[in-house]
Structure 1
């Protein structure tokens, strides 16, 4: 959002106070790509993610690939069967971490916390 100039710099002045809608929203990232010519499709191919922001669902070429729930780890998925030489469609659906935390809190109860118990989930 910042790189696309859709929001002001959140680290400047009190801009962060006006951007809380971001963590309360669901987001979709998508792209199309071709395999580079030097890739040997006969060898195992992996899609690697470092730090997907919390709750995400990954879809590759209209096929569900994975669901993730931890932004502090690396995810590595075999995609040899799903990739095509051209016109691959990658979609990542990001669920609001705030909404997901609130849902977990409703299911499992509040945790001892001074504020925002849902963030622990």
Structure 2
């Protein structure tokens, strides 16, 4: 099986680094790419440079936020098939329901501990 290619769209460098460290533990063969906002993520995907298997998406970002990105990607014939995991600090039920209705596969609230992050990522990768 080919290595999983993962795109994290998140404007927080610290969160990107933690995500990359956790992913190295959870699935060392996974290849992680990072975009700092929805526009950058969309252009990376549209240029088809990634062959992306799964997208982790923050909601609160400059330029194009997570919900705008989700709406855009769901309009693309090919890209709309990539599972999107909302990965946010938001704990609002409204955000979870709204993004699920928009086509997000999962909703994860960013955990406070590194161990919990690893556990969440392992859980998502086992079903996607």
TM-score by length of 2: 0.21
Relative contact order, higher structure (CA 8 A, sep 6+): 1
Higher strand share: 1
Greater C-alpha radius of gyration = 1
TM-score by length of 1: 0.22
